[in-house]
Amino acid sequence: MKKLIKLISLVAIISAFGTNILAQNMNEDFRKTAPAPLAPVPFNIPKPFETTLPNGLKVVIFEDKRLPLVSYRLAFPTGDINDPKDNIGLTSAVTAMLNEGTKTRSSKQFSDEVERLGANVSASSTSDNTIIAASALSLYGSDVLKLMTDMVLNPTFPESELKLYKQNTIEGLKFQRSQPGFLADEQTARILYGSNPYSVTSPTATDIEKLTPEKLSAFHKKMFVPGNATLIVVGNVNRDNLLKEVKESFGNWQKGTVAAMKFSAPPVRQATTLTIVDRPGSAQSNIVLANIAIDRASPDYFPVLVMNQVLGAGASARLFMNLREEKGYTYGAYSSFDTRRQAGSFEATAEVRTTVTGDSLKEFFYELNRIRDEKVPEQELKDAKNFLTGVFPLRAETQEGLTNLITSQQLYNLPADYLQTYRDKISAVTPDEVARVAKKYITPDKTAIVIVGDAEEVLPQVKTYAKQIEIFNTEGAKQDIANYGKAKSGEAVNVGGKWDLTIEAQGQKLPVSLELMQDGNKVTGSLNSMLGKGEITSAKVSGNKLSGTASSEMQGQKVELTINGTVEGDTMKGTINTGIPGFPPLPFEGKRAAGTVSNNETTKPSTTAKNIAGNWKVETFAGGQAVTVNVKFEQSGDKLSGTLSSDVGDGSVSEGKISGDNVDATLLLSFQGQPLTVILKGKLESDTKMSGTLTPEGLGLGDLSFTGTKEK
Amino acid sequence: MNNRFIYSAAMVMILLIFGINTFAQKTNNKNMDKMSGNFQLPPLKIEQYTLDNGLRVVLNQDKSVPVVAVAVYYDVGSRNERQGRTGFAHLFEHMMFQGSENVKKAEHFQYISKAGGTMNGTTSTERTNYFEAVPANQLPLTLWLESDRMRSLAVTEENLTNQRNAVQEEKRLNYDNQPYGEVFNTLNEMVYKNFSNSHSTIGSMKDLDDATVEDIKEFFRIYYAPNNAVLSISGAFDEKEVKQLVEKYFGTIKNQPKPEAINVSEPKEVAETYKKYEDKLAPFPAFLMGWKIPARGTDEYNALALAGKLLFEGDSSRLYQKLVKGDESVVQLFGINDERRGPSGIAIGAIPKPGQDLSKIRAAIMNEIKDLSQNGPTAEEMMKVKNQLINDAVRSRQSSMSRAQQIAEFALYDGDPTLINSELDKLLKITPEQIKNAVNTFLNTENRALLDVVPAGQK
């Protein structure tokens, strides 16, 4: 063996570059720096063939002979935003149900036929688009095209399959509420888009309940028409043969078009707002900073792409380098532009440890301001452009990738040479353009901050970032901000006694009882349910929040249950988490059994009403603007009345009442010449401060949080 | 509404838990089989040669898209580790991103990322691989990066400590602190007798703690030599230019004595047939069954790989239809082929629904295996499997990265990268009879390992 090795190295010396071997070894300076790239290789994507059938169906064919494969997309430029207002979720239901039964195939027959071909067929909708996708060996191209035609033209939406879809979807809707990412998206969209349909991220269970086969059929008939569709075929096909097949398949598709819908523009933002979704006990905070930016057709698309590459598009960008590499706050921090057909938004996001939520916001704002205020250094800009031009061919390498590129060019009506000129357009972006779009489309002084996390922990860290702050629970219900931030200063409420709770699990209500004993802020006790008994050894109360764990036996298995509850007098609401992977926390609510409070200090009704008579300055934020209302309360016993004046109109206080710290009143005023009723629900923080919500009726503004200050 | 249904993986879990059943109907038996003749894939253009220092180079030119992928496969995996030295191959994979003479720590990733490329490295029982896909004109960059670490890796105390901690953290996160995290490693210890085969790739905490800089330097010298590696390049390049570049960057790296040959042979019998494993984190009981089967590339292995597809791959597989859909007794069913150069394995496992009789589920699995061993696959099943094989083979050739990796694997394991051009044909020729016989010999037997996972609960 040794001999052989010597022989090999001898050969090496003899043959490697002949006589120059010594110099080679010594002079390897070329290794010291990264080599320059070779000459750029042009990437010539030919333009596809396009034609339109007499019924209006546009057909786009791209012959890709590399491998015996074919990919189809039937693409509709209508999506979830085209849902009727009273039945959100209809588009995605129709789309998902297309292959769950046709005039000639049951759901199972359909999927068996697809699997037997080794093919893939799927359908999905986004807010802007609906796409039916299929791919197969080109040998089975015709078979798959027939299956695809069948699901698009002949779906029957069988009752039994729809029932299953509704069950699963409703379970999914519940589950997504346990996902912080969903909660952040839900609030961000609501805040950014106002009355624009992009504000809706998900149907409700009620929407899903409303679905019937008839509704699906009618909507299918209306939207799935050839005048609204483009068929894109990429693959090893013969154009003439394919066109013949397409005409046979789709030629009889009955004519029809869908009128383009126009929606109201997103509201113009005036100031920075802060929205917290409270997830008690959350170890991380999901942070989103967002503002409205560009739509897909914007001429600023390419400068924005390059600018965002510098700021936060990947793991070499500024946000990642700062928040992860330098500060170690998170696994990743990114920014993105969501460019849709009618509008779009900018978002910077990270999931950070709860304790550094405030510090992370500081770094986000630093980076958002830096890219606006300082010119991007030349090398950094070059790197960003290199990345974007470099990654483009990688995206087009597989047939699926290429098909997706062609499909979005078609759906968004991008120029015919879009794919051919993409890399040139990136290269042409100038430093000035980057500076201009950064200033225009990143607006940290009017940003919407959304944080999903433990509000008790997060609020004190971030409350200085915005004047207008609102807090929601994970169910999307607005919370009284006065209840937060007490943990540090506020005294623990008394939770002692017997509680009868109801847990919602898998659509069933399960009774659970808790027996709690309290010593200071320490709580012990037991938990009883039909599934078993558990012992609570180390729970605690901070403010009005109860948190702790109970070791329980469920069906012979030891399970650790985590309980998080919020106590209001004799009622408690919260969640129980089973820790079983895939199971969302189970919501519960319940009441304290009468006469079981060991120390009812916190629930004792006030014997004499506090006096709040006088002039109050009530400040809120409505329609993107700060609004101040001056209220003059008059009080008699616990009854309130009075007058009010504001920039928008004057009026009076009616049906007012004060009980304990709670102030309830109806404000009647004239708003732009129309009578307007506003329900005020406030809570006194001190004799001169209150906060709560104002609900203007009939304006669709929901609850507006307000703060009130008594003038001296 | 882009995010409306992104939680589908979790949805699947929920679906399984709720045991929702779609109505079963007879499939229509129309013959759609168009593969009366043999399906022929256009062969890939492959050229291989060896540098004077022993580095095996494989080139696959494909100019359809201006992209190039580079894969370096080192012939070292956990199979090469001795007792007291477990986890070294994987620890080393981490070290390879810690910088070399001309590339600073963590710069590798930044260079590739800024060029618009993607990269990674992985370790298995069989090999350690590193790969990049970049725009075609950035080929020199990848060769520079790969050659710099092959010739001058920075093996320092600081880097070692740092990466040892990272690996131990990875072990805690992915194995120790995960429900069912250790079960596959435990099953391997039951199936294989030979230490080379039976120990885990992640290794033991103690061995990782004991690793010294000297050990790691020695490991590098022996296994990261050019004569112990394959360099595979696939994509759009000029043949003359690529050879010059490879010679320039890799030609002067010194070769080393060939590593000691290892023995991975196994007796026919599994090492242990039953074990009860207490898992502190597992919420439900579960079980895993493992069989020892012949080496990859043999007809028997291939027949069993197809049998695996029929038994547990996809919603139409036999066990999924029987246990998840039919009996609704199982939350999750899974199976894997443990493909190795030496004796290999197949494992099937299930997480039953609470209250289910585990032995009944195991009996149901053994019944399907028995049926397959007596009656063989149906014509319908054979057609499905063949179409899936062709589809997989064709799709896996689309990206340069996937081509570079497959070619490197054939070159390293079999000494013949052109096998990529005949592999599909070999699989398509497997007959129902061969599947039936292989299942009968290797799966329909008491010679198997059964691991019972019992939730230990929190104390």
Among A551, A518, A547, smallest CA distance to A532 is for: A551
CA-wise closest residue to A70 among A140, A4, A154? A140
- Dump pLDDT digits (tens) for B180-195: 888 999 999 999 999 9
- CA nearest to B8 within chain A: A172
Q: Which residues of B touch A559 (CB under 8 A)?
A: 283
pLDDT at res. A24: 40
With CB atoms and an 8 Å threshold, state whether B354 touches A386: no
* Chain A interface includes B278 (CB < 8 A): no
Contact at CB, B116 and A392, closer than 8 angstroms:
yes
Handedness of CA A310, A313, A317, A319 (dihedral sign): positive
* Closest partner CB to A109 (pick from B28, B251, B255): B28
What sign for the dihedral angle of Cα B138, B139, B142, B144?
A: negative
Any CB–CB contact under 8 A between B298 and chain A?
Answer: no
Contact between residue A254 and residue A76 where contact means Cβ atoms under 8 Å apart: no
pTM: 0.73
- Coil, helix or strand at residue B370: helix
| Tokens read off for A602 | 């916190």
* pLDDT score at A487: 52
Question: Is residue A577 less than 8 Å (CB to CB) from chain B?
Answer: no
What tokens were used for A682? 């406030």
- Residues contacting residue B83 through CB under 8 Å, at least 6 positions apart: B195
Mean pLDDT in residue range B331-335: 88
- Locate the DSSP E strands across A66-149: 69-76, 120-125, 130-137
Which residue reads 């399906």 in tokens? B39
- Contact, A77 vs A260, CB < 8 A? no
Instruction: Tell me A355's DSSP state.
Output: G
Reduced to 3 DSSP states, what percent helix, strand and coil does chain B have, rounded to the nearest 5? 45, 15, 35
Q: Per the CB < 8 Å rule, is A201 touching B114?
A: no
How does pLDDT run across B140-157, given as a tens digit for each residue?
A: 999 999 999 999 999 999
Tell if the CB–CB gap between A172 and B11 is shorter than 8 Å: yes
CB contact under 8 A, B387 and A338: no
What is the number of alpha carbons within 13 Å of residue A478 lying toward its C-beta?
Answer: 17
Tell which wins on pLDDT, B390 or A548: B390
Put simply, whether A26 touches B (Cβ < 8 Å) is no
User: Cα–Cα distance between A697 and A674 in angstroms, integer?
Assistant: 12
**pLDDT single digits (tens) B229-249:** 999 999 999 999 999 999 999
More confident residue, B166 or A95: A95
Out of A115, A143, A172, closest to residue B314 by CB:
A115
Cross-chain Cβ contact B22/A108 below 8 Å: yes
B39 lies within 8 A of chain A by CB: yes
Q: Quick one: pLDDT at residue A583? A: 61
Asked if A22 reaches chain B (Cβ–Cβ under 8 Å), the answer is no
| All residues at 6 or more sequence positions from A321 whose CB lies less than 8 Å from its CB, including other chains | none
* Nearest-by-CA chain B residue for A5: B257
* Residue whose entry in the numeric block shows the structure tokens 């509680």: A499
Percent helix, strand, coil in chain A, to 5, is: 35, 35, 30
Check if the beta carbon of residue B183 is closer than 8 Å to that of residue B286. Answer: yes
DSSP string covering A201-262, please? -S--HHHHHT--HHHHHHHHHHHS-GGG-EEEEEES--HHHHHHHHHHHHTTSPP---PPP-
Q: What 3-state DSSP class applies to B398?
A: coil
pLDDT in tens, B3-43: 322 222 222 222 222 222 222 222 333 334 455 346 778 89
**Can you give the pLDDT at residue A15?**
33
DSSP state of B441: I
Strand, coil or helix: B320 = helix
Taking the C-alpha atoms of residue B9 and residue B4, their distance in angstroms, rounded to an integer, is 13
Is A489 in a helix, a strand, or coil?
helix
CB distance B283–A579 less than 8 Å? yes
Does residue B314 belong to the interface with chain A, where contact is any CB pair within 8 Å? yes
Rounded CA separation A561/A573 (Å): 16
- Determine the Cα–Cα distance for residues A448 and A271; give it in Å rounded to an integer: 8
* CA–CA gap between residue A585 and residue A579 (Å, rounded): 8
Mean pLDDT rounded to a whole number for chain B = 88
CB pairs below 8 Å between A and B: how many? Answer: 250
- Alpha-carbon span A601 to B153, nearest angstrom: 70
* Cα–Cα nearest to B312, from B291, B295, B294, B296: B291
Please check whether residue B233 is in contact with residue B401, taking contact to mean a CB–CB distance below 8 angstroms: no
Residue to mutate among B2, B144, B255, B454, with most A CBs inside 10 A, is: B2
8 A C-beta contact, residue A79 and residue A130: yes
Q: Chain B 90-109, CB below 8 Å of chain A: which residues?
A: 101-102, 109
A67, A129, A296, A561: which to substitute to probe chain B, counting the most B Cβ within 10 Å? A67
Start-to-end Cα distance in chain A:
99
The values of phi and psi at residue B384, to 5°, are: -60, -50
Burial of A635 (0-12, 13-18, 19+ CB in 10 A): middle
- Please name the residue that has the structure tokens 């010396």: A13
Identify the pLDDT of residue A581. Answer: 54
Which of B1, B177, B313 is the best substitution to test chain A (most A C-beta atoms within 10 A)?
B1
Measured torsion, CA atoms of residues A140, A145, A146, A152, in degrees rounded to the nearest 10: 150
Q: Are A284 and A180 in contact (CB under 8 A)?
A: yes
Which tops the pLDDT comparison, A226 or B326?
A: A226
Over residues B88-130, the pLDDT tens digits come to: 999 999 999 999 999 998 799 889 988 989 899 999 999 999 9
Q: Mean per-residue pLDDT for B32-55?
A: 80
Do the Cβ atoms of A92 and B227 come within 8 Å? no
Q: What is the spatial order of strands in the sheet that A273-278 belongs to?
A: A330-339, A344-353, A284-292, A448-453, A273-278, A468-473, A478-479
The alpha-carbon gap from A233 to the nearest alpha carbon of chain B, in Å, equals 17
Q: Write out residues 356-375 of B within 8 Å (CB-CB) of A.
A: none
Window 405-444 of B: residues touching A by CB (8 A cutoff) are: none
Distances (CA, A) of B180 to B110, B174, B349: 35, 10, 11
Is pLDDT above 60 for B394?
A: yes
**CA B126/CA B284 separation, integer angstroms:** 33
Q: What are phi and psi of A179, to 5 degrees?
A: -100, 115
A67 CA to centre of own chain: 38
On chain A, the residues whose CB falls within 8 A of the CB of B28 are 109, 113
The tokens describing A352, both together, are: 């950070």
- The dihedrals phi and psi of A51, each to the nearest 5 degrees, come to -150, 165
Establish if B240 touches chain A: CB-CB under 8 angstroms: no
By the 8 A CB rule, do A173 and A202 touch? yes
Name the stretches of chain A with pLDDT < 50: 1-25, 488-489, 598-607
Q: Does B397 touch chain A (CB under 8 A)?
A: yes
Q: What is the pLDDT of residue A503?
A: 81
